[in-house]
Structure 1
Amino acid sequence: MFRRLLLRTAGRLVARPIRRRLNAFVATTHHPETAQSDLLQRIIAKQRDTGFGRDHGFSTIRTVEDFRRQIPVAPYEYVAPYVQRVQKGETSALLSDPQVLMFALTSGTTASRKMIPITQDYLDDYRRGWNIWGLTAMRDHPVISLKPMAQMVGDPEEFRCEAGIPCGNLSGYTAQVQKKIVRGLYTVPAYTGKIKDPVSRYYVALLCSLRRKVGMLMAANPSTLVALARVLDLHKENLLRDLAQGTLSNNLDIAPELRAALALRLKADPAQAKKLEAIAQREPVFLPKHVWKPEELMIGCWTGGSVGPYLRQLPDYYGNTLLRDIGLLASEGRMTIPLEDNSPAGVLDISSHYFEFIPEGEIESKQPICLRAHELEEGKPYYILLTTKSGLYRYHIVDLVRMTGKFNGTPLIEFLGKGNRFANLTGEKLSEHHVTQAMIHVMKTIPQPITAYALAPVWDEKQPYYGIFLEEQDMKDPVLLASFLKGLEAELRRQNVEYDAKRDSGRLGPVQALKISTGAWSRWDKQNLAKRGGSPEQYKHPCLIGDLEFVKEIEKF
């Protein structure tokens, strides 16, 4: 009782400044052009005397046109030499801030891992975005307000750079530096991000959360939540025994120092263990929906882009919960703040970063058209560019987005996919966005089971085609599968006129289903993640793979 009263009092104290920030943010959304212009000028003025600022004539930038003329649209590699100087201790090469708190490591889904310097300014904005997201979610759903939150995070310190600055996962760092009064609301301690083995990390997260009435469950990728649910059933006997005794199974791959820290935290709860054991014995499969009431639980995760196959599985494991997208965010910065349930769209975070947009059809141009936030058209796809307070300028993150409407005067943006994922056998220029949109449409009417999937080109001397690689367990109904392939083919032709033309000309054959072993996608994702680096929570499973050799590669799994 005392704990609940303390948390309620703490919640009210914390919520007051967050409400002020929410009100201030909402006020800016009425005037996005002014808010963005002012922000750009503040960034340029503050970073004027850095090495990057001097090299690019920041002192002479007066207008947006000056800014665009003096700084090119560029990927991470353009700013990488300056970041490398910061890693060696020369902070002023890129930043006016006296201190870099950490380097956030990107997931490496498109290339080798990037290192994004995190300053106090950046961290304040990042937290503000999360605070607005959380406050609006609780305002809309009082049933979850001030209930415990279970959040999966990564390792905030995988290593240190030459200057001794930690390099790791941003969500892990923010969890680590939370105020003590807030930390009590989180069921999973931040240091569990250092547990490298995914199953052991999920096990510990469950063990820490089973005793609490969790109101919010957060993981960027819904595939993490699917894995979490499967661990619950697979390890239910050990979990319930550990819950009853306040112990931690010796079968887990956990470093001794982390075990020691967890030993101080885990408390025996025989009453809760007995209650859950009765449910586990009654149910053929023990699932999160048996532990936490679905109607009193909000899931926060990505809902746009390529996560559809995993998203569709969540109700089976968690029941009909509340669902809210956590927004388009990456190590490089938060781009949107969703304010409604069941929508991948969020309001552009115009108070944190300066944004520009390149129309999708312009991306190959030597001098592409660049638009500002207030110039976007509803329904049109764009590549999003970021200019941030932590040293990124006109940064091409290769995310394809679409404007779906407006919040006051500010665009609502949804993530479509990674724009660099293309396949091009005969000039069709098939993109991951085409694939994911086709899948969304066909799955609305044809209930083909899909654990995970990807399309990849397959070479055939007579007629090349695209194969959709499905696990054996999902291909047991040939009639349903044939209907699904027919629907997918029709949708791909509708989504991409070039694909349609190549099919008409006979240069491409129809999509074919190619069988891979059950569990192959999980094994392939694990190896792919290990090659590129990053955390499972950040990883995005590709839905289109342009490599002609992939058909041979996946056979190994």
Structure 2
Amino acid sequence: MLDTVRYWGGAPIRLRMRRQVASFVKATQNSRGAQNAVLKRLIALNADSDFGREHGFSEIRNVADFRARLPISDYEYFRPYIERLKNGESSALLGPQNRLLMFALTSGTTSGAKYIPITSQFMDDYRLGWRIWGVCAYDDHRALYKRRIVQLSSDYDQFRTPGGTPCGNISGLACEMLNPLIQTMYTVPKPVMKIKDPRSKYYAMLRAAITDSKVGIVTTANPSTLLHLAKLADECREDLIRDIADGTLSTKVTVDDEIRRGLQRKTRANPQRARELEAIVNRTGHLYPKDFWPDLELLSVWTGGSMGPYLAGLPQFYGQNNIRDHGLSASEGRMTIPLSSNTSSGVLDATSHFFEFIPEEEMGSADPTVLAAHELIEDRNYFILLTTASGLYRYDIHDVVRCTGFLGTTPTLEFLNKGAHISSITGEKISESQIVAAVRESVDPLGLELGHFTVVPSWGEPPQYRFLVEETNLPSADVGAKIVASTDQYLKTLNPEYDEKRNTGRLGPMTMQLLPKGTWEKFCLKRQSRLGGSLEQYKHPCLVPQLEFYQEFMAEFVNGCRTETDGIPRPYSSAANRVDAK
């Protein structure tokens, strides 16, 4: 009954959303005009700020003026203004009509977390992008209109700045701002977002969501989270079924009393549902989403970049469902909106932010070519620059994208990877500078000269990072174990997203891979012969983000490895091979 009321009551909302989709699609036919209008709006929005006055916003008339007055920048360029924002000085970066709502926390490339301002206009743009995404997805999969949503979000108000501004996750604020009618479609109650212990949070999500059999869509950013959630459901199936039958929330779940009370509405006894779940376990031997949500039709996650291995594992737990990419988005802004399922490509969100592009091969050069959206070439790769309502201008987010085509004159893009000095398997976005800082903090107290080292991502269950160093650079295996454990721990303090992925088990602990003496010399010679330049100019990479690098490197330069009982992988030696062969 509620589904029918919600469907017909939501008709005016859907009509308004479809008009917004039509307006967006119309704008894609003239990307240049749409982008010029966006730039004009964004410059005017924050012109009456200290940043705007210092950079002569009142004199900017066109794209050329804009580029002449503002450099290509990263977070450090804006940090002094953002620090003032954190202390309550909104005029440092924002105009009087652009109210600061919160700071989104994301990984910094130098010193800890970045605080990304989320303003009223930015949030309007953010929500519009999701409405366009949502109505297209639901019109493509119309059964979803009468089914429920499982969304995994995090708290937007985890703590406050000195100026009193909430800090946390933008998805939590978006949930708070949902239309009340649309909120009834969501199965996970808001108090769950405030649970701090990761395992308890996921258990509470499952406790609420599994009670509802009519789930049609599950949405979260990273597909690794979906795998983790499905495995937890099966692991905790006895506790979940007991809680659902009795109307309880297990005492194993670590939550504040206030949050526990707030979850009471979703923890009422449902013995009939418990019997249905018991029957599933008796029949299949497991408690997987594909069985307890038989009407599941759509998974909404990232699909680009390094997500492929995770996506391949979803059918085992969720069945053969359609997958709708979220689009390329970050705390700093939404970049693309996929308009169809089962593709990682999306059309540039050309009506919300102003975008510029640098050909991948020119990034880092003294005078790179900078292109507007309509100037891209299909099948070419680019770094993307953002200008948004939150006071970030020509912001290098370090994302590499490929132009896959055009909708009208607006490019469609797919995410390939983070830039050369950032690695992200599950969304942790580790920078080379963070690796160097963590290693230095771990090695300096030992008075040790470590020499060349490289940290690389390595696929596994779960994936992890490996610390590659020649064995002759370490006095003992015990010292190596201490260094890698300390590096792992210090990296967690530098990078909150790495800390979160490690704590939830989506990333395993860093391990050390000992290499034979001379390995880095061989690698250096091979690298320089391919790239050109003298050995004196060689810059050893302390972080290599490509997921395939580890296996290729070991095959070419080490010829296999074995793992000792102390957990430190070591290279094969001929003697070790002979012993193992016996």
- Structures share a fold, TM > 0.5? yes
- Structure number with larger C-alpha Rg: 2
Q: Percent identity?
A: 43
In the TM superposition, residue 272 of structure 1 has moved relative to its aligned partner by 1.2
Over 3 Å counting, the alpha-carbon distance change for 1:456 and 1:247 in structure 2 is: closer
Q: Is the 8 A contact 1:457 1:548 kept in 2?
A: no
| TM-score between the two structures when normalised by the length of structure 1 | 0.79
Deviations, residues 229-259 of structure 1 (Å, cap 9, x unaligned):
0110010011011111211000111111111
Matched residue, 1:500: none
Alignment of 1:454-465 (within 5 A): 458-460=468-470
Alignment of 1:429-440 (within 5 A): none
Matched residue, 1:404: 404
Matched residue, 2:285: 284
Which residue identity lines up with residue 533 of structure 1 in the other structure? P
Over 3 Å counting, the alpha-carbon distance change for 1:414 and 1:110 in structure 2 is: farther
Alignment of 1:357-436 (within 5 A): 357-421=357-421
Q: 1 CA distance for matches of 2:101 and 2:418? A: 29
Over 3 Å counting, the alpha-carbon distance change for 1:110 and 1:376 in structure 2 is: farther
Matched residue, 2:129: 129
Q: 1:451 aligns with which of 461, 466, 471?
A: 461
Matched residue, 1:255: 256
Alignment of 1:48-197 (within 5 A): 48-96=47-95, 97=97, 99-108=99-108, 112-197=112-197
Which residue identity lines up with residue 46 of structure 1 in the other structure? L
In the TM superposition, residue 285 of structure 1 has moved relative to its aligned partner by 2.4
Matched residue, 1:317: 317
How many residue pairs end up in the alignment? 474
Deviations, residues 6-58 of structure 1 (Å, cap 9, x unaligned):
21123223212111111110110000000001110111122222111111111
Which residue identity lines up with residue 274 of structure 1 in the other structure? R
Matched residue, 2:495: 532
Matched residue, 1:485: none
Which residue identity lines up with residue 34 of structure 2 in the other structure? A
Over 3 Å counting, the alpha-carbon distance change for 1:100 and 1:461 in structure 2 is: closer
In the TM superposition, residue 5 of structure 1 has moved relative to its aligned partner by 2.4
- For structure 1, which runs of at least 5 residues remain unmatched after alignment? 424-430, 433-447, 463-515
Matched residue, 1:242: 243
SS of alignment partner, residue 398 of structure 1: strand
Deviations, residues 151-175 of structure 1 (Å, cap 9, x unaligned):
0001211111111111111001111
In the TM superposition, residue 111 of structure 1 has moved relative to its aligned partner by 6.0
Deviations, residues 304-358 of structure 1 (Å, cap 9, x unaligned):
1112221111111111011110111111111100111111110000011000001
Over 3 Å counting, the alpha-carbon distance change for 1:145 and 1:536 in structure 2 is: farther
Q: Is the 8 A contact 1:338 1:345 kept in 2?
A: yes
In the TM superposition, residue 178 of structure 1 has moved relative to its aligned partner by 1.7
SS of alignment partner, residue 44 of structure 2: helix
Over 3 Å counting, the alpha-carbon distance change for 1:526 and 1:456 in structure 2 is: closer
Q: 1 CA distance for matches of 2:306 and 2:7? A: 38
Q: 2 CA distance for matches of 1:110 and 1:227? A: 30
Q: 2 CA distance for matches of 1:343 and 1:525? A: 35
In the TM superposition, residue 107 of structure 1 has moved relative to its aligned partner by 4.2
Larger deviation, residues 261-270 vs 28-37 = 261-270
In the TM superposition, residue 187 of structure 1 has moved relative to its aligned partner by 0.5
SS of alignment partner, residue 312 of structure 1: helix
Over 3 Å counting, the alpha-carbon distance change for 1:150 and 1:536 in structure 2 is: farther
Matched residue, 2:269: 268
Over 3 Å counting, the alpha-carbon distance change for 1:453 and 1:251 in structure 2 is: closer
In the TM superposition, residue 368 of structure 1 has moved relative to its aligned partner by 1.4
Matched residue, 1:32: 31
Over 3 Å counting, the alpha-carbon distance change for 1:349 and 1:536 in structure 2 is: farther
Over 3 Å counting, the alpha-carbon distance change for 1:139 and 1:98 in structure 2 is: closer
Q: Is the 8 A contact 2:46 2:98 kept in 1?
A: no
In the TM superposition, residue 209 of structure 1 has moved relative to its aligned partner by 1.2
| TM-score between the two structures when normalised by the length of structure 2 | 0.76
Which residue identity lines up with residue 112 of structure 1 in the other structure? G
Over 3 Å counting, the alpha-carbon distance change for 1:391 and 1:406 in structure 2 is: same
Which residue identity lines up with residue 51 of structure 1 in the other structure? D
Deviations, residues 240-290 of structure 1 (Å, cap 9, x unaligned):
111112110001111111111012332221111101111112212221111
In the TM superposition, residue 536 of structure 1 has moved relative to its aligned partner by 4.7
Matched residue, 1:428: none
Which residue identity lines up with residue 244 of structure 1 in the other structure? A
Q: 1 CA distance for matches of 2:83 and 2:265? A: 40
SS of alignment partner, residue 215 of structure 1: strand
Q: 2 CA distance for matches of 1:33 and 1:98? A: 25
Larger deviation, residues 450-459 vs 253-262 = 450-459
Which residue identity lines up with residue 496 of structure 2 in the other structure? G
Which residue identity lines up with residue 150 of structure 2 in the other structure? A
Q: 2 CA distance for matches of 1:306 and 1:331? A: 19
Over 3 Å counting, the alpha-carbon distance change for 1:288 and 1:410 in structure 2 is: same
